[in-house]
Chain A
Amino acid sequence: MPTRYIGRDPIFKGKSLYEIARQLRNLGVGRIVYRQSQATRWPGQKTYFRLTKVVPDATCKEFKQGVAWGQEVFRGKARGITEITTGHKYDWVLVPKNEEKSFSEETEVFEVEESSVPKHIDCPPLLKIVLQKDLTAAGQPVPEKIELPFLSETYIKDLEWKWKS
């Protein structure tokens, strides 16, 4: 009897990292794995891991749990040994040993542009007048341009979190 699955279309077209690892001697340490979706997204810039340590959850029958570490290459750029947080997704592909050399050859590298976040912002007009008056009253020299330090939202959130804790 043919089976028809009723549900959303699949997003991932691979296996979980732990399923691959459990079929390999030494849990695949030293082997190269990559995510299918990343390979499709950035075909010119290689994103992969060379596994250094894999600890799958042996009790999980669906091979969806565990922890793993590997030497990461993200979009052509080496990032050292990092933890693999997406090992449970059915998106992983093992690179055959005879293709490892050609696969890991240096390709196009994605360079991250330095984001130019300003360190200071212009002082609002009313505050500027108040500050000028205060400085004059205190007998201090008044600078031509008054600037305030810029605090990003993330920084403020971090500070708030620290104060709360």
Chain B
Amino acid sequence: MATSLRQIALLGRQTWRQLKVISLGRKFSTTSKRMLLSETYYCNDAWRKHLQDPNLNQVNVAEFGYQIRDQLEMSGTVSAIDMNVLVHQLRNMDDDEADFIEDLLARFNMCQSSIPPSDSTAHAIIRSFLTKSYDGSARLVRLLSQPLQYGLFPDHYSLNLLLDKLIDSGDPAGASRVAYHTMLQEDLSSNPVHTLLCLQAAVARVLQGPISDLALPEPEKVEDEEEDWIKVKYIKFPVYDDHFDIKDERFLLGKTLHMLAQVQTPKCPELIVTSLGLIGSGIHHKFSQGLAVLEKVVDSSSGSVPLQALELFSESLESVQARDPEEPEVEIALRTVDDVIHRLLPTTEEKDEFQRRFGQLKEKLVSQEKIQEDFDLGPAVKDFVRSELPNYEKSDIEEQINKFSQWQRERESELTHQVEELMKNQRMEEIKKQVKELQEQEELLSYFDFEEKIRLTMMDEDLAKDENLTIAK
């Protein structure tokens, strides 16, 4: 009775899942809203064809997921190809199993088989999470922002799909997080489509609200509190590389904008480049770089600066917290990363000098009539992105379709290799067993020829088990 009830429940669950997949698929494919990327860019047909690979459809996803978890718990490792097959089937899993999948991904990242990372796996994760009706894109953003924990490094094409979805759903915070991911890889110039989407995402984030809202909350300082003493062999130096260690979103955004200003392809209009360089330097507190941008404009014959960018730079310069140059450095035993970051702030003298130079340059710009008051960065970037995107889509589509077939070939060869390895190991086990049996048989047949030797071996074995033994059992 219990079995039949369970079967009915399973059947119902499967049917419901199938219905949901069908409905999701329809919703995903018949979207009438014009996203930034065209529908052909998604290569949905090629992807569906790719998913029909028989190697991917031999498993029941729910059971396979639990098998992988058990394997991870028992042996601490799972093969990369198994994980690849699982993530290709994630679309068939329930929405409430997303936490379970995240946990699997984090555990898989701690397996040696996750190295080198696979583009196919990363692409399948992005596709699968995007088809989910729940907060799939938000989850992906979280996975991307923790590379040491999840080790997710998708290719540009996959990131473009995610960015398009985030921009379309009006989530500049999430979209800009994806742009920060690429900025940390210092890879904003390799793929023009990705560059354009990152540009739109980062600019939308800047113009979303006051920059000060992006700052980290000030830590509460409690004076005269008892210290917590920890004994260590060597004190670890608090390292801050101003790149991977950046936690303040202002700095991430500023650095992204500054890098986008240096991109050569696609070539942005001069006003956008100047705005990005100036705003980025200001938000990242690299005021000397921003002043260099202004000096370049002053020295040029035809350059100009948008008023909007000047105001944002000025706002950042005004609001920056200057440190006291006489302030003593925190002793190494108590020093934290926050103290190191604090030392990077400009001193009061430096801030005054920056403000003086900025005032002078602004006056020069006014006298030379090089300030553009009617330039609005947001619409200018939107127009530029919309006009440029179609020029670069075609090459990405062709490349991606080739990649699908390449990934399929790689998967097949990897699976064949894995099966061969498995057969080899099984055969070796069998041979070992046969050898052991033969040895035992030989021992029985030749016992009286080697009686003394066998007795000595038995004694050694007994002594190994019990050191206090004086005579063999």
Contacts and interface: CB of A to CB of B under 8 A. Distances in A.
Contacts, number: 100
B464 interface: no
A59 interface: yes
B241 interface: yes
Contact of B227 (A4, A90, A97): A4
B227 A22 contact: no
B147 A22 contact: yes
A2 B225 CA distance: 8
Given A2-B225, A23-B147, A24-B185, A7 B232 contact: yes
B228 A23 contact: no
A57 B153 CA distance: 18
Contacts of B237: 10, 12-13, 90
A8 B226 contact: no
A56 interface: yes
A84 interface: no
B236 A10 contact: yes
B233 interface: yes
**Binding site of B, secondary structure by majority: helix, strand, loop or mixed?**
loop
Contacts of A24: 153, 185
Interface string B118-132: 000000000000000
B94 to A, nearest CB: 29
Interface in A4-26: 4-15, 19-20, 22-26
A94 B241 contact: yes
A5 B232 contact: yes
A55 interface: yes
Contacts of B231: 6-7
Contact of A27 (B115, B230, B233): B115
A9 B235 contact: yes
B233 A6 contact: no
Interface string B70-109: 0000001000000000000000000000000000000001
Contact of A1 (B115, B227, B236): B227
A93 interface: yes
Contacts of B230: 3-6
B334 A2 contact: yes
A24 B148 CA distance: 9
B298 interface: no
Nearest to B116: A27
B228 A1 contact: yes
A15 B238 CA distance: 10
Interface residues of A, number: 36
A15 B148 contact: no
A97 B185 CA distance: 9
A8 B233 contact: yes
Contacts of A57: 112
A17 to B, nearest CB: 13
A59 B230 CA distance: 26
Contacts of A96: 186, 243
Given A4-B228, A5-B333, A97 B186 contact: yes
B76 to A, nearest CB: 7
B115 A4 contact: no
Interface in B384-408: none
B402 to A, nearest CB: 19
Contact of B244 (A8, A23, A55, A63): A23
B46 interface: no
22 contacts: A1-B226, A2-B225, A2-B227, A3-B228, A3-B229, A4-B334, A5-B235, A7-B235, A9-B234, A10-B234, A10-B236, A10-B332, A22-B151, A23-B147, A26-B117, A27-B117, A56-B115, A59-B76, A59-B110, A63-B148, A94-B241, A97-B186
Given A12-B237, A56-B115, A94-B241, 4 more contacts: A10-B235, A25-B117, A90-B236, A96-B243
The 4 closest A-B pairs by CB, nearest first: A7-B232, A25-B153, A10-B237, A97-B186
